[in-house]
Structure formats: C-alpha cells, structure tokens
Chains A and B, each alone.
Chain A
Amino acid sequence: MNEEKEIAKGKERSQELQTEAVEPEAAFVPLVDVIEKQDGVEILADMPGVSRENVEASLEEGVLTISGKVSPPTMQGMSLQSGEYETGSFYRSFAVGEGLDTEGIEASMKDGVLRLRIPKSEKYKPKQIEIR
C-alpha cells in the first residue's frame, strides 16, 4: 500500500514556499481530482492562467511532480480595486506506486486544466480468469 506523500499539503492554495521546490516565488497548490480506473489513473489539476508551454510534469524516483508558471497580467497605470486571487506558480507532487506504467503517461492541457493519464502496468491490470 502506498502512503500518500504529498509534499504540497492543504486543500486550499497555500502560499508557503515548498521546501523541495527551488522557486523564488511562492507556489500555489492546484486543486486536483484523482480517478482510479480499471486500467490506470487519471489526474485533473486546475491551473488557471497556465498555458500549454508553461506546464511541466515530471516523474522521478516514484514521485510525480506537476508545475506551471503564470505570468502576471500587465495592467499599466491601473490600480487594483479589489483582489481576490494572486497569480504565481503552481506546484504539487504525488508518490506514484510501482504498479503504474510510467513510460505510458499521456498529458494534455486545456482551458487551464492539466490532464494526465497513467496506465497501470500489464501485470497489475485486473484479469479475467477463464474457467474451463
């Protein structure tokens, strides 16, 4: 059983600097859905303001890390009347079990949502046993 090893804790975005991340600015924790499927795992992460070019997903020694950069909007000469959110980088990492086929990861980015699909390794897929 894999214990969750989230470096980035907290349901709400936190502005705490991640100790592992060498980011000069604060990093936000994206909200995610993690869905376990018969043949793999799907991860959806809300990263508003992150374009396809500025998102990264990497897998190293069983730790999946997703990160994205948001460039703050340019508002020349304008003053902020009301601010409810801040822009910055997104960062979150997960421990990934050995039952997943890390070679087969597929990633896509649309409307600020990162979607990752990680297939299960062949030997961990549920198998139908034929009874003769």
Chain B
Amino acid sequence: MVIWDRNRGFGYDPFDELRRLSRQMNRLFGSPLSAGIGETFPPLNIWSDNEKAVVTAEVPGIKKEDLDISVENDVLTIKGHREPKQIEDGESFRRHERGYGSFRRAVGLPFSVEPGQVKAEYKDGVLRLELPRHEASKPRRIDVK
C-alpha cells in the first residue's frame, strides 16, 4: 500500500480515482453512529486498597469539557465524545486508525464510594479518578463481648 506518493505534477493521475473512493469510504464510515470507538473504550485500569479506588482511563485527544463522569454507589460511568478529524476537499486519509465518536462505559467498583469526594484529573490524554470508599462500606471489626 502507498502511504503517500509524490504528486505527479502534470497529466493524468491514476490515483485520483482511488483517492476519491477513499474519501467516500471515509465519509460513509465516518458518522458517529458507526465510529471506530468500540464498547470497550476507553480502556480502564482499576486499583484499590481499603480506603479508596483509583481508576485510570486512556482517552487521548478529548477535551476536558467533553468528558462526563458520574458515580452512583459502586458504579462509575464515564461518558464522552471525541471529535472526528475533519478533512477538506483535496485531502485524503492515508491511514485512518484513530477512533472517534461517542462512548459510554459503566464499570463496577470494588465498593461503594463517596460521590462528593471524587477527584478527577486529566493529563496528557489520561484520566485519573480517585474515589474514596464510602464509610458505611468499610469493613468493621466487631468485638465480641
């Protein structure tokens, strides 16, 4: 496959037709409904100890304001949207691997968390959430009298 070829300058360009087709294909598969982002986007890592859970997600190229994070008991939901790369006439994709569109993921945490004390940070395309464990869900030692 050609990654990019030199502009041929004058005369007939046999790749023109292919470029046009490729543009049409990009448009066809480019709608958010059939976006490249699957149901497992974003990939998550979940850590925990007795006090808190930490969740990290790889969400490169997403604006902070396009992320919507919510917590209910022990379920964390991350919603968001990644803008498709727009191309103009005369431009064509030689590689189109990056996914885009809307995503929504809900995951179960090891315990219920305090929704008001969740800390979220977005840096270099990685979202990091710190979710303190709900007091009532902490294990309690029962003294036998």
Contact = CB atoms under 8 A, between A and B. Distances in A.
> Real complex partners, A and B?
yes
Contacts of B92: 35-36
A34 B94 contact: yes
Contacts of A50: 124-125
A124 B13 CA distance: 14
B2 interface: yes
A48 B96 CA distance: 17
Contacts of A59: none
Nearest to A126: B7
State the main secondary structure of chain B at its contact with A: loop
Interface in B106-145: 107, 110, 122-126, 128
Interface string B27-68: 000000000000010011111110001101011111100000
Interface string B56-97: 101111110000000000000000000001010011111111
Given A2-B3, A34-B3, A113 B94 contact: no
A83 B53 CA distance: 13
A73 B48 CA distance: 13
Interface of A: 1-4, 11, 31-38, 41, 44, 46-51, 73, 75, 77-85, 94-95, 97-100, 110-113, 120, 124-127
Closest 7 A/B residue pairs (Cβ): A112-B125, A112-B60, A48-B125, A34-B95, A99-B6, A48-B58, A85-B43
11 contacts: A36-B94, A38-B90, A44-B61, A46-B61, A46-B125, A51-B124, A82-B45, A111-B61, A111-B62, A124-B9, A125-B7
Interface of B: 1-7, 9, 19, 40, 43-49, 53-54, 56, 58-63, 85, 87, 90-99, 107, 110, 122-126, 128
